Structure formats: C-alpha cells, structure tokens
Amino acid sequence: MFPSVSLRRSLLSALALLTLASHAEAQTPAAAATRPESAMPAAAEEGQDPDMSRKLPLPRFVSLKSARVNLRVGPGKDYAVSWLFTKPGLPVEIIQEYDLWRRIRDADGTEGWVYHSLLSGERTALAAPWLKSKKGALVTVHRSAAADSSVVAEMEPGVVAKVRECSFSWCEVEAGGRRGFVSQNEMWGVYPDERF
C-alpha cells in the first residue's frame, strides 16, 4: 500500500530537484540586476541577430524611439517610474541588460531601466552638452572632415543630430536640414575614435 523506502527517496530527490529548478527560474529582476554584466542574458533589439546568437557590446549608444519613455528604477513594469523622456531621437548609452530591459544613461548622467522596444539602433548625438552653460558657445559643422573646410552651419550645445558615420575623429551629421562634419570630440553619443 505504501511505496518502498527506495522509491520514496527517489520521489523526494526528484521533488527537491524540481523545487531548486523552479526557484532558480523565479529569481527576481532586482536580484538578477546585481549580477555581473557578463551573466546578463541577451535579448533581441535593433541591430541584433534575430536568433540572438551574438550579444551586442556593452556599453553602447542607441537612441530613444518613442516620444514617451518611462525610466524605471528596476528592470520591470512593477518598478516605479523615476523619469519621463519626451524627446524621440535622444541619444542614450546602454550600460547593462536584463532580459528585455536595458539600463541606460543620458548625457546628464541620469540612469534607469527602459524596455528594449523603446530604443532604436539609429545613432544620434548631442552637440557638446557640456557647453550649455557657456554663453555664446557653438559647435561648428564643416563641409568636409577637416578643420579648415568651409562652415555650413553652427549648432547650439544640446542640439540633437543624426549621425551618419564616424571615422578619423570626424562624424557626418544631419540636423535642421543641414548636413556636414563635426569633430567627434564635440559630440555626446559617440565614443572617442569610434568608427561606423
């Protein structure tokens, strides 16, 4: 009527293994967010293989896709919203990943979590945001990738520009219907000497 001792032990062992497996899968996002970045799972987003066979590097720059992006204190919709971005195309830096959530940093250093589908692989950059408080400061847009080439426009600090490509310390940008080249070290949203 009752199972043998060896059968009961086998059943208890199997039950213990199932409990451990379900506990590992049910780990909270907050606990997982404290894991080293190398242990974070990859997820599909703009520019990544659909089969997720390769993970994009961290950190990396992307831009906001939506006109309303909630910045949360943790990687999930149950976490409180700490900030609301209302400017699509704003460049942000992904510094950590958890499942389908990305921890981002903006040019002011504000950090938080956003859902991956609210981000775009389209590259944008801010014209020298560190000069916003400097009266009369402007970022020069040149016709070609040379400091002595003619000037096609000037941007105020903080202007968002689309970045077409960067190489040899210059980026080809487009802003306000004007296209030209800006020194790479005058833009936030590209890394020094980054080429793409």
In tens, the pLDDT along 85-118 reads 999 999 999 999 999 999 999 999 999 999 999 9
CA-CA-CA-CA dihedral for 31, 38, 92, 52, to nearest 10:
-100
**Span 74-87, mean pLDDT?**
97
Q: Which residue has the tokens 């609210």?
A: 118
* Alpha-carbon gap, residue 98 to 169, rounded angstroms: 33
The pair of three-digit structure tokens given for residue 160, joined into one six-digit string: 């968002």
Instruction: State the pTM of this model.
Output: 0.73
Q: Cα(119)–Cα(112) distance, rounded to whole angstroms? A: 13
Q: What is the pLDDT of residue 54?
A: 61
Q: How far apart are the first and last CA of the chain?
A: 72
